[in-house]
């Protein structure tokens, strides 16, 4: 939500799962009832002219199913951030969630934005280097366009949208990256809303996240947000 606001957009959220966590660990997970999720989606779309949406932590098969149903009902343009594992290593999904996501949600998506670990789960391929990531991206790309984010690939994003593009980047040495994947997918969604094509949306989002990490504590506002 902060990413949407910082890029000049008004975002609305539907909470699907509550977590008791900090940046070190996840202690507990509480699912929101699916009928409540469905009602919330209906009320937001009754009130606001939503064109693009992104998903984050969906946790379970039944939540994926209701979100997928609503995406189809309202013909929304969808970005999927396949949140499955917290940065601390804790699981953020039930077993059947991944199967449901691949079967129901990714086929409706414009783009999915996994990190290396999520890409391994989606592709069933162990990713040890850039070549492995390319093979995984091509496999996931049979469902929808994919960008494997580069935090574990020396800062390089691997995009597949009919062909492979290796988007070379800079890896910033820091431990303060909690939430960067969520912010990245929100930024891609934002730049698409602002009229950019997919490649430029990903490129600008990568710059946005790297500036956020680099200047988040010490930079000026001009340094932080000056991405046109």
CATH of the domain at 29: 3.40.1190.20
Tens of pLDDT, residues 169-215: 666 666 666 667 889 999 999 999 999 999 999 999 989 988 887 77
Q: How many domains does the chain have?
A: 1
Q: How confident is the model at residue 102 (pLDDT cuts 50, 70, 90)?
A: very high
In this prediction, residue 16 carries a pLDDT of: 95
* The model's pTM: 0.87
pLDDT at residue 161 is higher than 80: yes
Of the candidate ranges 117-121, 132-136, 150-154, 187-191, the one whose mean pLDDT is the lowest: 150-154
In this prediction, residue 178 carries a pLDDT of: 65
Is the sign of the CA dihedral 146, 147, 152, 154 positive or negative?
Answer: positive
Token pair of 39 as six digits: 């009602």
Tens of pLDDT, residues 33-65: 999 999 999 999 999 999 999 999 999 999 999
In this prediction, residue 21 carries a pLDDT of: 84
The residue segments making up the domain with residue 75 are 2-225
What is the three-state SS of the chain?
A: CHHHHHCCCCCCCCCCEEEEECCCCEEEEEECCHHHHHHHHHHHHHHCCCCEEEECCCCCHHHHHHHHHHHHHHCCEEEECCCCECCCCCECCCHHHHHHHHHHHHHHCCEECCCHHHHHHHHCCCCCCHHHHHHHHHHHCCCCEEEECHHHCCCCEEEECCCEEEECCCCCCCCCCCCHHHHHHHHHHHHHHCCCCHHHHHHHHHHHHHHHHHHCCCCCHHHHHCCC
Size (the chain), residues: 228
- Are residues 187 and 213 in contact, defined by beta-carbon separation less than 8 angstroms? no
In this prediction, residue 225 carries a pLDDT of: 53
């Amino acid at each position: 939500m902060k990413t949407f606001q910082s890029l000049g957009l008004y975002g609305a959220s539907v909470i699907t799962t509550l977590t008791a966590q900090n940046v070190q660990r996840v202690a507990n997970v509480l699912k929101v009832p699916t009928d409540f999720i469905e009602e919330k989606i209906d009320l937001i779309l009754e009130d606001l002219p939503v064109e693009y949406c992104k998903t984050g932590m969906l946790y379970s098969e039944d939540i994926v199913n209701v979100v997928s149903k609503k995406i189809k009902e309202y013909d929304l343009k969808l970005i999927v951030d396949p949140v499955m594992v917290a940065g601390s290593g804790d699981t953020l999904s039930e077993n059947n969630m991944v199967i449901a996501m691949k079967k129901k949600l990714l086929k409706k998506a414009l783009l999915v934005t996994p990190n290396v670990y999520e890409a391994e789960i989606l592709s069933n391929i162990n990713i040890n280097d850039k070549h492995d990531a390319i093979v995984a991206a091509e496999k996931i790309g049979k469902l929808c366009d994919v960008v494997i984010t580069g935090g574990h690939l020396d800062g390089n994003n691997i995009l597949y949208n009919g062909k492979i593009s290796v988007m070379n980047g800079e890896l910033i040495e820091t431990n303060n990256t909690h939430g960067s994947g969520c912010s990245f997918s929100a930024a891609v969604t934002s730049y698409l809303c602002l009229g950019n094509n997919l490649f430029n949306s990903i490129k600008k989002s990568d710059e946005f996240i790297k500036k956020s990490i680099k200047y988040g504590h010490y930079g000026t506002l001009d340094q932080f947000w000056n991405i046109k």
